[in-house]
Structure 1
């Protein structure tokens, strides 16, 4: 009980509440990338498997993030350079971000190509002519969960040293992801043009991860501002299409 009370001592401190609110918002925003990927990927599954795959993927993200939180000493060491190339020291975190970014760029590019040229029956982002299986979907989601989780936890460690605040923020962010997953997936499925926009987001996020891994940090605010502006333009396009359709 004393240990629990010690970890929850921040509740009596306004600064602790402020740190918690800030970190919750940050974790929710960082979770958007993960959620977009999960939504696009699971929409390729048979309808009866989609909701279950989303829950499994988001549940795995929660488990990974909590597990990483309780190995903070190891996570912090991931930022220690292990070798130097072209004057830049590369850490395990850098290598993981670069690998995850390349994976996202490759997947998004394959799916964009399939959308632009649907007659091309070569492999697509999610398995080509052969429908994506539950196991393949979960394995790809887990891979991206790992990349996004490491980035998320390192961000959390940089904002506070209170484990309790980090745990509450992570659980809150994953809960929001869980609530938003089905509506977002239905919205993407009902609006095909949104798929291309979302794939563009994934392409941009992938390039950002690669740049970050090579030491060129792009402020997250720029990324999400670009995503928000693009989403606003697409919303206006959708509204215009509906108005034209209603006028006919």
Structure 2
């Protein structure tokens, strides 16, 4: 997969995407990430990309043409228009399910807004979807874009050591992850659950499933409505005082 970030801060994005798991994945060719400076497509010597909004109001808006020229250049280079996402508090909230869906695409363009936003006309012309990372506002679209890019990249083949790494994580199956422990077995008087020291894999897996159910029921009970639960799961939750809504 190729991910292109259109931004006023490509160095910031490149720094984050060059580190840790994603950085290693890029270096071995499991994913391609390219950061584009929108200012390079500005018209004047000051590389100005913003102007005051028609009708008045606070702040400045990013102008349509520099973004459009950046998009046109990318489309000409690729030979096609990739699926384009604008990171916006007005978009649908990002979920793991949507991350999985996006990871199946050949390429993504992530458009990072700034100031008070972007001229609506360029959104109408190029953007396929708006996505939010939550019901709050940050200073620019770079951090949300990096979160989305990271989440998508780690779902790709060859990025993590084993697909099981993400298949057992929180939200993958609409359940939160079970508690985990490492050495020492006793820390400040707190012991690791004995089942994890038993070496009995079937019992360990059963415990992990049950703990995942309990953690989800306590912390994010609304997720149970979309989880794939067996009758045994439902009985277990009922025995622990949790009601599971029917689909």
Q: TM-score range by the shorter chain?
A: under 0.3
Query: What is the TM-score normalised by the length of structure 1?
Result: 0.28
- More helix by proportion, 1 or 2? 1
- Structure with larger RCO (C-alpha < 8 A, sep 6+): 1
Query: What is the TM-score normalised by the length of structure 2?
Result: 0.28
Q: Which has the larger radius of gyration?
A: 2
